[in-house]
Structure 1
Amino acid sequence: MRYGKFASVYDELMEDVPYEKWVEWVASQIQSGKILDLACGTGTLSQLFSEMGFEVTASDLSEEMLTIASQRFQEAGQHIPVLQLSMDNLEGLSGFDAVTIAIDSLNYLDTEKQVQQTFKEVFAALNEGGHFFFDVHSVYKVDHVYMDSPFVYDGEDIAYIWHTEPGNYAHSVIHDITFFIQQGQLFERFEETHEQRTFKVADYAAWLEAAGFQVESVTADFTGEAPDVESERIFFHAKKN
């Protein structure tokens, strides 16, 4: 998935995402060191990690997202390296104390093999004792919550109509979103199609262990509690021992 014009409106649409809670979660386990922020998007999380004193490297597959992230870092006076990479091919990166894949970015991988390869690449990129943090949509969210579309958003200068349908795999969803962006007195219309896929908690845990990780915790919805049948976002913390 390569975000197109969506990159230009991403930050406004993600205003309600609790990035600070994500940072607090990571900082509760590691207080310093080098972080690789995979699928960094427009760099919000990378910036927050840098502000806390971490040495951050930001990576994303989307050139459009990285352009915005680079501008963000420059304006903040932060020296954060930016890499254009797929999360399942880290090209020999190593020496990190933590790797993050935030805000369901892992769900953009289509196949089990890609997820498994990503876990192997992350394991190789980490130092001994390094931490891996990521979150994913639950099966319940993909199979039930997302199927209640259409969803509509009407902001001051951005509006969208968001339709969903089952994707090409089990526990996958196709998002068809039509945006209306105000440009002067007129609105520009453009469309984006995104597909996401998730897997059962037990599958993720098994693939982490197969890659060499020890699963430290599996929690849901920023509660710190174990997932239940209606949890929507699942958080994994694994460690390279």
Structure 2
Amino acid sequence: MSYQTFAQVYDAIMDDTLYERWASFVDRQLQNKGQSVLELACGTGALAVTLKKHGYDVTGLDLSANMLSLASERAFSEGVQLPLIEGDMLDLSEIGQYDVVTCFSDSICYMPDAAAVLNVFKEVYQTLNEEGTFLFDVHSIYQIDNIFPGYMYNDQSEEISFLWQSYAGETEHSIEHDLTFFVYEEETDRYERFDETHKERTYPIEVYREMLQQAGFTSIFTSAEFGESDINDESTRWFFTCKK
């Protein structure tokens, strides 16, 4: 799949209005817009560029070289300087220190188990400067257990169509998303099919708190829906603000 096609596929399943909401959440949590920010799982760089335009000194990190190539192209087209690192959030030992680390779009939920989540929290803690801030979000148990199972969504345009179906995973509070894309290839004048399965898992909010405390965080504040409400039984996304 070409980078251009990859971008089409990725952007097709993302609601681009969410990037400004994530950036606004960051604004509300931080006192100084000049702080250095490491964005974990930066993907194609949409949020990193948005945060850069909000006045932060942003560096993006992602496991995928393809994603980082797209992020570089996006930053160039938007006229911003965006350092990018190919790396794994499970090992941040060689990337320096930052005032803020962010990890949004439920990227923590892609960790395979609680041990991996704890490892990420420990790596982030070591990467933060003194009094640094860790901001992230995860799917709530309500979202994973009650909203996603059986979810189906279809969309199409002249260039791309996709099918999205979600079903309960094999472990507690987990979900699997089957994505099928049909992308028009001009060179062959035909639609090519691409299939992906995304697996996500979440935990009770108390478990996240315990793991954060075990990693060393002492100040942990939780909210829901981009920090716009308190957590309740039907909150779909939990947000965490953690201080070193």
Could you say whether these structures have the same fold, taking a TM-score greater than 0.5 normalized by the shorter chain as the test? yes
After TM superposition, the structure 1 stretch with the greater mean CA deviation from structure 2, 88-97 or 100-109, is: 88-97
Q: Determine if the alignment matches structure 1 residue 175 to structure 2 residue 166.
A: no
Deviation at 1:233, TM superposition (A): 0.7
Aligned partners of 1:81 and 1:181: how far apart in 2?
30
Following superposition, the deviation at residue 228 of structure 1 comes to 1.1
SS in 2 for 1:106: helix
Could you tell me how far 1:187 is from its partner in structure 2? 2.1
Residue of structure 2 aligned with 1:51, choices 50, 53, 69:
53
Structure 1: segments with no counterpart, 5+ residues: none
Matching residue of 1:138: 140
Aligned to 1:113: 115
Structure 1 residues 196 and 111: CA distance shift in structure 2, 3 A: same
| 2:234 aligned residue (227, 230, 234) | 230
Render the CA deviation track for 1:74-125: whole Å, top value 9, x for unaligned.
Answer: 2223222111111111123332110000111111100111100100000000
| 1:136 aligned partner, one-letter code | V
Aligned match of 1:198 in 195, 198, 202? 202
1:1-241 correspondence to structure 2 within 5 Å: 7-30=7-30, 31-184=33-186, 186-222=190-226, 224-240=228-244
Supply the AA of the counterpart residue of 2:20: E
> Residues 150 and 167 of structure 2 are in contact (CA less than 8 Å); yes or no, is this contact kept in structure 1?
no
Question: TM-score scaled by structure 2?
Answer: 0.90
Percent of aligned pairs sharing the same letter: 39
Q: Mean alpha-carbon deviation: is it higher for 79-88 or for 209-218?
A: 209-218
The 8 Å contact of residues 35 and 98 in structure 1, kept in 2 or not, is answered as yes
CA RMSD of aligned residues (A): 1.7
Give the unaligned 5+ runs of structure 2. Answer: none
Distance in structure 1 (CA, Å) of the matches to 2:161 and 2:129: 44
Q: Where does structure 1 differ by over 4 angstroms across 4 or more consecutive aligned residues?
A: 5-8
Give, in whole Å, the separation in 1 of the partners of 2:141 and 2:154.
23
Q: What secondary structure sits across from 1:42 in the alignment?
A: coil
Q: TM-score, normalised by structure 1?
A: 0.91
